[in-house]
Structure 1
Protein backbone atom coordinates (compact mmCIF):
# COMPACT_ATOMS: atom_id res chain seq x y z
CA UNK A 1 0.00 0.00 0.00
CA UNK A 2 1.39 3.39 -0.92
CA UNK A 3 1.80 6.23 1.53
CA UNK A 4 -0.98 8.13 -0.23
CA UNK A 5 -3.35 5.18 0.12
CA UNK A 6 -2.48 4.89 3.79
CA UNK A 7 -3.12 8.62 4.26
CA UNK A 8 -6.43 8.37 2.39
CA UNK A 9 -7.49 5.47 4.61
CA UNK A 10 -6.57 7.51 7.67
CA UNK A 11 -8.65 10.47 6.48
CA UNK A 12 -11.62 8.22 5.80
CA UNK A 13 -11.27 6.68 9.26
CA UNK A 14 -11.43 10.22 10.64
CA UNK A 15 -14.79 10.57 8.82
CA UNK A 16 -13.58 13.18 6.35
CA UNK A 17 -15.75 13.81 3.31
CA UNK A 18 -14.68 11.96 0.17
CA UNK A 19 -14.28 15.30 -1.63
CA UNK A 20 -11.83 16.35 1.09
CA UNK A 21 -9.87 13.11 0.75
CA UNK A 22 -9.68 13.46 -3.03
CA UNK A 23 -8.72 17.12 -2.77
CA UNK A 24 -5.90 16.39 -0.35
CA UNK A 25 -4.60 13.57 -2.55
CA UNK A 26 -4.70 15.77 -5.66
CA UNK A 27 -2.79 18.50 -3.83
CA UNK A 28 -0.17 16.04 -2.58
CA UNK A 29 0.30 14.56 -6.06
CA UNK A 30 0.70 18.04 -7.54
CA UNK A 31 3.25 18.95 -4.87
CA UNK A 32 5.18 15.72 -5.45
CA UNK A 33 5.32 16.40 -9.19
CA UNK A 34 6.54 19.95 -8.57
CA UNK A 35 9.09 18.76 -6.01
CA UNK A 36 10.59 16.23 -8.42
CA UNK A 37 11.15 19.00 -10.99
CA UNK A 38 12.88 21.42 -8.61
Structure 2
Protein backbone atom coordinates (compact mmCIF):
# COMPACT_ATOMS: atom_id res chain seq x y z
CA UNK A 1 0.00 0.00 0.00
CA UNK A 2 1.43 3.36 -1.02
CA UNK A 3 0.79 6.52 1.00
CA UNK A 4 2.37 8.94 -1.50
CA UNK A 5 -0.84 10.89 -1.98
CA UNK A 6 -2.18 10.56 1.57
CA UNK A 7 -3.02 13.80 3.31
CA UNK A 8 -3.44 14.49 6.99
CA UNK A 9 -5.41 17.12 8.86
CA UNK A 10 -2.99 17.09 11.80
CA UNK A 11 0.67 16.08 12.07
CA UNK A 12 1.92 15.63 15.64
CA UNK A 13 5.70 15.98 15.97
CA UNK A 14 6.91 13.96 18.94
CA UNK A 15 5.31 10.78 20.20
CA UNK A 16 5.91 11.36 23.90
CA UNK A 17 3.15 11.43 26.47
CA UNK A 18 1.82 14.85 25.41
CA UNK A 19 1.94 13.95 21.71
CA UNK A 20 0.13 10.70 22.35
CA UNK A 21 -2.63 12.39 24.37
CA UNK A 22 -3.06 15.10 21.75
CA UNK A 23 -3.12 12.55 18.92
CA UNK A 24 -5.71 10.49 20.77
CA UNK A 25 -7.98 13.47 21.34
CA UNK A 26 -7.70 14.70 17.76
CA UNK A 27 -8.38 11.22 16.39
CA UNK A 28 -11.74 11.05 18.16
CA UNK A 29 -13.17 12.95 15.16
CA UNK A 30 -13.48 10.15 12.58
CA UNK A 31 -13.55 12.70 9.72
CA UNK A 32 -9.98 13.82 10.49
CA UNK A 33 -6.68 12.11 9.67
CA UNK A 34 -3.96 12.32 12.32
CA UNK A 35 -0.29 11.36 11.93
CA UNK A 36 1.80 10.95 15.10
TM-score under structure 2 normalisation?
Answer: 0.43
Using structure 1 for the length normalisation, give the TM-score.
0.42
**Structure with bigger gyration radius:** 1
Structure with greater proportional helix content: 1
Q: Which has the higher contact order (CA 8 A, sep 6+)?
A: 2
